[in-house]
A = this chain, B = another copy of it.
């Protein structure tokens, strides 16, 4: 049986840009477009040419994509022809193979928001779509507020989508603009449109997550006959976001009846890059990835419950609905008071620390981890620091060096030129074997600007570690996260440090203290220690 083609339309660069706190640069847009294209999406909506300088620049130097590159705009305004509407002209002038125009289909909006007559709006839709087609482009019509309009005035809403279809729109996209429609509303709406004469293979669906049903609304629309699905990476978008393509893609490829009935542009190799693509977007946006994200979240295949974890060890299919590697994710059995000793052994073995079943040190490690987590440490997020705690209990934590003292100073003052400047400086005294090394560093970078006390401390610490210096030359800090948290009865600061080395290894360490510099110091020392262990560096013997 041949499978029907189902098309995926990405609007991360347009509707996704409406996310609160998101503001793509030109470079961001280019990187994201390339990632979307590599994933195998059919359409990439790049933005609204003419609406803001970034979008205009982006279209002026649009990346070459296999996907159909699409410009967004709105139907022409009343009282002028499509060719003479300068807002529409800016959209057309972007020169994209496809153009998607949003137009009203809800009578209330036509009268309240636009303040024009219902017939006038119909004519605007018809003329605008016909203009795109006449210019030799593929036309898409975004039927704004379609499901609300269908409820309020079904004849009018259907007349609007039929007008777009008859004017030559390749796709009529039913939009749940407010996000208020539920799955049964969407199913009924798609069926009514098909009954009214717009065939399913010309229908798209565009949903929002305001009731947490955007993914389900997309699936039900496909089941009812729609053949284009619009969404965004990681569900970015206005208010609560758009339908999340990162959740929809694996469902369409791996779950029945979709997998057997439909063919999409994403293949198995691209699916296996899905986790990486999702995290890339978070990297670009400097967002913390959502641990609980379906398929791609760090917790999506994390088995915390003791009963689940022990069954997983027998057979992973017991508590996993798909194999994590299909979407490029990994299984994870974290430490916590809920986890049993079997989880812990599994974890230690993966870290190269095999321990026999029933070894009393397993219980000691669990108790210690629990007590430390009570004080604010977070070992689920800092696996390298966890390894060090376990190694201490197992007698496998080398003592490379000891920091005897440090002092960090931040000074903000006027310099001789009466400019306000800030200067940070750190002094560190380290004992290695019978050597005592004293280092000092400020934190001024190549442009002369101050990088702060943690940077100064990190530099002073890494400046002279004597015999270990070669091993830590390539270590650098890639992220640094700080939270005020509760350590027993009082607030403490938790610092998580992500480090990376020249081999591309990345590891996370944690420090906790009421003092942010001190918490950072602990995490930095852990990061160095973990690297020395992993590189197989031998400790210098301490003096007797």
Q: A337-B23, A453-B453 are in contact. Are A211 and B251 (CB under 8 A)?
A: yes
**B490 to A484, Cβ gap below 8 A?**
no
* Number of this chain's copies in the complex: 2
| CB < 8 Å neighbour of A322 from B180, B424, B449, B515 | B180
Q: A211: which of B215, B297, B314, B407 is its contact (CB, 8 Å)? A: B215
Residues in B with CB closer than 8 Å to A19 are: 292, 299, 304
Given A184-B223, A291-B21, A410-B408, CB of A112 within 8 Å of CB of B315: yes
Check A216 against B483 for contact (C-beta < 8 Å): no
CA distance A219 to B185 in the complex (A): 13
How far is the CB of A295 from the nearest CB of chain B, in Å? 7
A219 touches B517 (CB 8 A): no
Stretch at the interface among A236-244, A348-356, A462-470: A236-244
Contact count band on A? 35 or more
Q: Which residues of B contact A304 (CB under 8 A)?
A: 18-20, 238
Interface 9-mer from A357-365, A411-419, A432-440: A411-419
A485 interfacial contact with B, CB 8 Å: yes
Residues from 12 to 42 in A contacting B, C-beta threshold 8 Å:
17-21, 23
A249 to chain B, nearest CB (A): 11
From B240, B308, B479, B513, A238 is in contact (CB under 8 Å) with B308
Within the complex, what minimum Cβ distance (angstroms) separates A399 from chain B?
Answer: 16
Does A544 make an interface contact (CB < 8 A)?
no
Contact partners of A250 in chain B: CB under 8 A:
211
Sort A-B residue pairs by CB-CB distance and give the 5 closest, nearest first.
A180-B321, A216-B216, A452-B515, A482-B482, A405-B413
Q: How far is the CA of A74 from the CA of B200 in the complex (A)?
A: 48
Knowing A178-B321, A452-B515, A518-B412, say if A18 contacts B407 (CB, 8 Å): no
Chain A 509-544 per-residue mask, 1 if CB under 8 angstroms from chain B, else 0 = 000011111100100000000000000000000000
Docked-complex contact B412 and A319, CB < 8 angstroms = no
Q: Residues 447-484 of chain A: 1 if any B CB is under 8 Å from the residue's CB, otherwise 0?
A: 10111111100000000000000000000000111111
**Other 11 A-B pairs with CB < 8 A, given A177-B319, A408-B409, A445-B490:** A20-B336, A23-B338, A112-B318, A183-B220, A210-B294, A211-B247, A212-B215, A410-B453, A410-B515, A450-B514, A452-B513
- Please name all residues of chain B whose beta carbon is closer than 8 Å to the beta carbon of A180 when the two chains form the complex: 255, 321-322
**A156 interface hit (Cβ, 8 Å):** no
| CB closest residue in chain B, given A296 | B240
Q: How far is the CA of A424 from the CA of B483 in the complex (A)?
A: 19
Residues of B within 8 A of A294 (CB): 209-212, 240
Answer yes or no: A192 CB below 8 A from chain B CBs: no
The residues of B that contact A201 with a CB separation of less than 8 Å are none
